[in-house]
Structure 1
Amino acid sequence: MTSFLKVDDEFKRTLGYLPDDESLDSQTIARMESSLSAAETFVQNSIGKNDKYYQDEDNKMLYKMACYSIASNWFNHPSTAASSTVAKAVIGQMRGIFDSYEELKNGTTSESGQTNTDD
């Protein structure tokens, strides 16, 4: 899996930390990195493997929202966390977009919107 997101000021704020927070030690940063990396893997495995899809400007915001939602849940509740409702909804939406993206990329949709099945 490819990681596209980094622990930055935005992610720290999502978790309730200020960028220069004195309570941010190396272990806390390592937990943030681990949570975010695991969330990216989860989201990519849930949707599909295509690096260009996640880097596409139209998909970046949804991808980030799903990853941040999952990562913050896992970071704040490591022993009991499941995927959040927000993440599940966003992942569902991204699956539909991903399918359309793959069809267009592979040229498997005809002009009428029907999938070509001619072999």
Structure 2
Amino acid sequence: MTTILKVDDEFKRVLGYLPDDDMLDDQLIQRMTSALDAAEIYVQGAVGENKADFYQSEKILPLYKLACYAIGANWFNHPSSAVSSTTAKAIIGQLRGSYDESEVSDDGTTTESRSTNGVN
């Protein structure tokens, strides 16, 4: 799996920090990074792991970021008791639908069925 998001000013604000907050030390930034990386791995595992470029597409990236930020913020703020939010689960459902659509070719076959039929 490929992580594509970074702890930036936007993610810091999601967590309630200003970009230049004095409380932001190396340890806190590392916790943020770990939470965001874990959230990306979770979302990609729930949606599909085969196409990293899918998550970077203009249409998908905003939903992907929203799901990862929601999960990452929850895990950052509640590390021992966090569960995925209803919002994140709904977004993951949308991403799954888009991911599945991206697997279907013009002739209606999926990537898997083409490779099993010997056509690539």
Please state if 1:25 is matched with 2:25.
Answer: yes
Once the two structures are superposed, the pairs formed by residues 47-66 of structure 1 within 5 Å of their partners are 47-49=47-49, 50-66=51-67
Matched position secondary structure for 1:58: coil
**Deviation per residue, 1:77-107 (Å, 9 max, x gap):** 0010011111100001110111001113xx4
Name the aligned partner's letter for residue 46 of structure 1.
A
**Paired-residue identity, %:** 57
Matched position secondary structure for 2:84: coil
Please state if 1:86 is matched with 2:87.
Answer: yes
1:3 is matched with 3
1:73 is matched with 74
Name the aligned partner's letter for residue 33 of structure 2.
E
Q: Give, in whole Å, the separation in 2 of the partners of 1:83 and 1:108.
A: 37
Q: Any gaps of 5 or more consecutive residues in structure 2?
A: none
TM superposition shift of 1:55? 1.0
Q: Give, in whole Å, the separation in 2 of the partners of 1:86 and 1:45.
A: 17
Q: What is the aligned length?
A: 111
Q: Give, in whole Å, the separation in 1 of the partners of 2:107 and 2:55.
A: 21
Name the aligned partner's letter for residue 76 of structure 1.
N
Matched position secondary structure for 1:6: coil
Name the aligned partner's letter for residue 3 of structure 1.
T
Q: Give, in whole Å, the separation in 1 of the partners of 2:37 and 2:107.
A: 33
Q: Give, in whole Å, the separation in 1 of the partners of 2:78 and 2:12.
A: 16
1:113 is matched with none
Q: Give, in whole Å, the separation in 2 of the partners of 1:14 and 1:38.
A: 16
Displaced runs of 4+ in structure 1, greater than 4 A? none
Q: Give, in whole Å, the separation in 2 of the partners of 1:15 and 1:28.
A: 11
Question: Cα–Cα, structure 1 residues 2 and 108, in superposed 2: closer, same or farther, change >3 Å?
Answer: farther
